């Protein structure tokens, strides 16, 4: 029996928070089935997701980022561009590209807020793993 492989891309901005999504993902999918890739930030995820999906090696590609208001630009625009790009990568390649990209309305770099979002990313990672397992099973059933 062969096991489906999954790609997991994580942005390095706020890595202490974003990395928790991988922790949650690996609670449901064994690490031996997951190839992990780091990118500088959320904006770089769609291109790498598309390239990884196009290899045909992965049943799904999960992407994690934390896009917050840095005071320089409207972070909602960045988040929207990322989500649009991830959706396009999936549609263009035919491989599911899952988003664990969160954009809170209010985030302050305090211990309290960081703890809340670290815990939230673990849960979002589990949700992405469930989605990856479900969609790869559905696609396998359709192909049978």
- Which range, of 23-32, 53-62, 66-75, averages the lowest pLDDT? 66-75
What does the pLDDT look like over 119-136, one tens digit per residue?
889 999 999 999 999 999
Q: Is 130 among the catalytic positions?
A: no
d(CA 90, CA 61): 9
Active-site entry in 20, 74, 88, 118: 74
* Residue 116: pLDDT over 90: no
* Residue 2: pLDDT over 60: no
Residue 72 pLDDT: 59
Residue-wise DSSP of 10-77:
EESTTHHHHHHHHHHHHHHS-GGGEEEEEESSGGGHHHHHHHHHHTT--SEEEEEEE----SSS-HHH
For 141, the token pair is 């059933």
What does the pLDDT look like over 16-43, one tens digit per residue?
989 999 999 999 999 999 999 999 988 8
In the chain the domains, ranked by start, together with CATH numbers, are 6-143 (3.40.50.960)
């Amino acid at each position: 029996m062969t096991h489906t492989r999954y790609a997991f891309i994580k942005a390095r901005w706020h890595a202490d928070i974003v990395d928790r999504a991988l922790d949650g993902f690996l609670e449901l999918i064994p690490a031996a089935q997951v190839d992990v890739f780091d990118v500088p930030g959320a904006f770089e995820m769609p291109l790498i997701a598309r390239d990884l999906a196009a290899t045909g090696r992965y049943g799904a590609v999960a992407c994690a980022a934390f896009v917050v208001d840095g005071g320089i630009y409207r972070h909602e625009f960045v988040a929207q561009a990322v989500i649009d790009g991830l959706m396009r990568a999936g549609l263009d390649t035919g491989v599911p590209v899952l988003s664990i990209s969160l954009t809170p309305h209010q985030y302050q770099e305090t211990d309290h807020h960081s703890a809340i979002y670290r815990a939230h990313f673990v849960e979002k990672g589990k949700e992405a793993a469930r989605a990856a397992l479900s969609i790869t099973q559905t696609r396998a059933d359709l192909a049978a």
